[in-house]
Copies of this chain bind each other. A is one copy, B any other.
Amino acid sequence: MFLMESWYVFGWSYEVAEKPVGRVIIEQPIVVWRNVDGQIHAAEDRCPHRHAPLSFGRVEGNHLRCMYHGMTFNEAGQCVDAPLMAEAPKCSIRTYPVVEKDSWIWVWTGAPENADESLIPKAWGIDDPNKPMRSHGIEYDAHYQLIHDNLCDLSHVDFVHETTLKVASGADWSATEPNITASGRSIKYERWFVDAALPSDTSVRVDAWSTYEFVVPGIFILYGARFPAGTAEKCGYQAPEGVTPLFENIEQQAVTPISETKTAYRYATGLIMDAANVTDQVKARMEVVIKTFEEDRQIIEAQQKIWALTDPEMKKQFLPQDKGPTMMRRLMAKLIREQEAR
């Protein structure tokens, strides 16, 4: 079961250049291509003639030609040319609303008239010299919901990432509960970690402000900031305002379901600072994030295998830290119910 009425991250902007790129999102084959001016387009990756993939095709000006037998489509998806035919046949391919924003290509898989760009969450982007970031993409052999669960409950950092991110953050993730607020398609998590570590020098003790937003289905935007010890108390344990952070780290992550058991995961990890000042120590910190996400992949794929052997009706034990995942699952269920009612 997928949420259809949604923007999904197709990929990084830099991944689509002269050649069309074909990918499967929520079991739909989709091709994304740029016309001669670099403008981006998305369509079903299936030529109406023999259902061959248009991602094997060729861009010709503002048109996309199927390189199996030559049918050609314009940006609106209409067939404009077919070999041996004086007049192009009246047929077309489904096009998808597509937007490039903050270094990602976003595709709307719902009814085109509902493609509201304001639903696209604000991410960091990877091209800002004052926000040096590294981008990655991995694939999970797991249902997207297991990845959502993981992202909506960071108490797992203390266990899954005991020797990686937990050390780098110097925080006790499972000992504190974030303040969680829902709004529209988004769930926001905020908290202070008093007596955390400064990532660029873990011997320095600081107060850490951590906030992230999970926008269903599958966008995760994190901001972390370190302040001198005592700042949390000074701010009355509210969001820091008017205080200069010692260190700021950011993440942008996207979970894009491919099928019921395969999921694409694209993320960037970085800092808010002048790129020229990025030291080896900071680079090492970025490496930690990559190891961290590999740890997530390993336990979630193992979890998927257990789920495959388990009666779906089997009860699960609720814990306090499940509040975040539960709110997210309810929100997803509500949106899918609304989708089915339409």
Q: A: which residues have CB within 8 A of B? A: 22, 24, 27-29, 45-46, 48-53, 55-56, 65-71, 79, 82-85, 89, 91, 149, 153, 155-156, 158-160, 162, 174-175, 177, 298-299, 302-303, 305-307, 309-310, 314-322
Partner of A316, one of B49, B306, B315: B49
Cross-chain contact B69 with A307 (CB below 8 angstroms)? no
Chain B positions within 8 Å of A24 at CB level: 309
Residues on the B chain within 8 Å of A309, using CB? 24, 27-29
With contact pairs A29-B309, A319-B85 given, residues A159 and B49 touching in the complex (Cβ less than 8 Å)? no
Nearest residue, chain B, Cβ from A46: B306
Taking the closest CB of chain B, its distance from the CB of A69, in whole angstroms, is 5
- The answer to whether A52 and B302 touch across the interface, beta carbons within 8 angstroms, is yes
A67 to chain B, nearest CB (A): 4
Beyond A22-B302, A29-B309, A69-B159, 16 additional contacts (C-beta under 8 Å) are A24-B309, A27-B309, A29-B305, A29-B306, A50-B149, A50-B316, A51-B314, A52-B303, A53-B305, A53-B306, A55-B302, A56-B299, A70-B155, A84-B174, A89-B317, A91-B317
Chain B residue contacts of A162, Cβ below 8 A: 67
Set B50, B79, B175, B298: member contacting A83, Cβ < 8 A: B175
The answer for the CA separation of A314 and B28 in the assembled complex, in Å, is 14
A53 to B306, CA, bound (A): 7
CB-based contact A306/B69 at 8 Å = no
Shortest Cβ distance from A284 into chain B, in angstroms? 24
Cβ of A151 to closest chain B Cβ, rounded Å: 13
Task: Report how far A132 CA is from B65 CA in the complex, Å.
Answer: 38
Q: Which of B79, B160, B175, B306 contacts A84 (CB 8 A)?
A: B175
**Chain A contact residues: helix, strand, loop or mixed:** loop
Please give me the residue from chain B that is nearest to A52 by CB atom.
B303
Determine if A69 and B317 form an interchain contact, defined as CB atoms under 8 angstroms apart. no
Q: Is the CB of B321 within 8 A of A83?
A: yes
Top 8 nearest A-B pairs (CB, nearest first) are: A83-B174, A48-B317, A67-B159, A84-B320, A52-B303, A91-B317, A53-B302, A49-B317
Q: Which residues on B sit within 8 Å (CB–CB) of A49?
A: 316-317, 319, 322
CA distance A82 to B69 in the complex (A): 58
Closest to A158 in B: B70
If A68-B303, A155-B83, A159-B68 touch, whether A51 touches B310 (CB-CB below 8 Å) is: yes
A321 / chain B contacts, CB cutoff of 8 Å: 69, 83-84
Give which listed residue, B46, B65, B69, B303, contacts A50 with CB less than 8 A.
B303
Q: Tell me which residues across on chain B come within 8 A of A56, comparing CB atoms.
A: 298-299, 302
Quote the shortest CB–CB distance from A189 to chain B (angstroms): 15
A93 and B227 CA atoms in complex are apart in Å by 43
A82 smallest CB distance to B (angstroms): 6
Distance in Å: Cβ of A254 to nearest Cβ of chain B: 21
Interface contact A155-B316, CB-CB below 8 Å: no
Residues of chain B contacted by A52 (CB below 8 angstroms): 299, 302-303, 306
Distance (whole angstroms) from the CB of A272 to the closest CB of chain B: 30
